[in-house]
Amino acid sequence: MKSGLPVILAVAWAPIVWMLFMAFLVPLLLPVMKSFILVQVIVVPLTAISLVFLLRLFRALSERFYGEKA
């Protein structure tokens, strides 16, 4: 896999993953925390962590199907 592709993939998928976390976690966390900023403090790191795991999965699948070494 080319070295710049994972960065482009992460930038493209970050808003989508963030919106998914917002859709599922805000209704649960907002009544408890009463602050949208505190909910964002939880959601943004979860988005970053999940993107790292998704990129690792993408690289592993790429190596499996195409036989490329990173």
What is each CA distance from 44 to 18, 22, 26, 55, in whole angstroms?
7, 9, 12, 17
Q: How far is residue 22's CA from residue 61's CA, in Å, rounded to a whole number?
A: 28
Q: What range does the domain containing 10 cover?
A: 5-66
Instruction: Give residue-wise pLDDT tens across range 10-24.
Output: 889 999 999 999 999
Domain count, the chain: 1
Q: Which residues of the chain have pLDDT under 50?
A: none
Q: How far is residue 30's CA from residue 42's CA, in Å, rounded to a whole number?
A: 11
